[in-house]
């Protein structure tokens, strides 16, 4: 069975995945994970046999597509799904009029992962939900 990634309006499924990965596994406070940006974001949902296994969201900010809330269930990590989600997000960003770059806040342990996908780290390390992050950008 293969995983299919596409744009989705199923915000509840995306939030359920993020609850497992960020709130339960990474101990991110629920008040910091749930925000009011889901309503303005484009959501990508990865499904295997109809079952949600990963997600990401894109928030358009002028010429920048901010990719965030990228998560993959533990059962699907190491399969290439995370990279496929990022490539799909980049494809969606390229389709948006006037968008010239993608940006994301990467957890420090994932810098190498994003560098392999063409992102470059910028600026200092900062804390987001108590986890060290660094901004990364990539021209489209």
pLDDT band with cut points at 50, 70 and 90 for residue 57: very high
Q: Is 110 helix (H, G, I), strand (E, B) or coil?
A: helix
CATH H-level, domain 3-102: superfamily: Gcn5-related N-acetyltransferase (GNAT) (3.40.630.30)
Give the domain ranges of the chain. 3-102
Per residue in 61-105, pLDDT tens?
999 999 999 999 999 999 999 999 999 999 999 999 999 999 999
pLDDT at residue 129, as a whole number: 87
Q: What is the DSSP string of 39-90?
A: TTSEEEEEEETTEEEEEEEEEEETTEEEEEEEEE-GGGTTTTHHHHHHHHHH
β-partners of residue 105 are: 135
């Amino acid at each position: 069975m293969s995983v299919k990634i596409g744009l989705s309006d199923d915000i509840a499924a995306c939030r359920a995945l993020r609850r497992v990965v960020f709130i339960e596994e990474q101990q991110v406070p629920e008040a910091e994970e749930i925000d009011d940006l889901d309503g303005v974001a484009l959501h990508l949902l990865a499904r295997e046999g109809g079952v949600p296994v990963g997600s990401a969201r894109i928030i358009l900010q002028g010429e920048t597509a901010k990719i965030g809330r990228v998560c993959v269930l533990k059962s699907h990590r190491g399969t290439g799904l995370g990279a496929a989600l990022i490539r799909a997000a980049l494809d969606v960003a390229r389709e948006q009029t006037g968008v010239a770059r993608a940006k994301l806040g990467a957890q420090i342990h994932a810098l190498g992962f994003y560098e392999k996908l063409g992102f470059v780290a910028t600026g200092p390390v900062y804390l987001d939900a108590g986890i060290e992050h660094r901004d990364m950008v990539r021209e489209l």
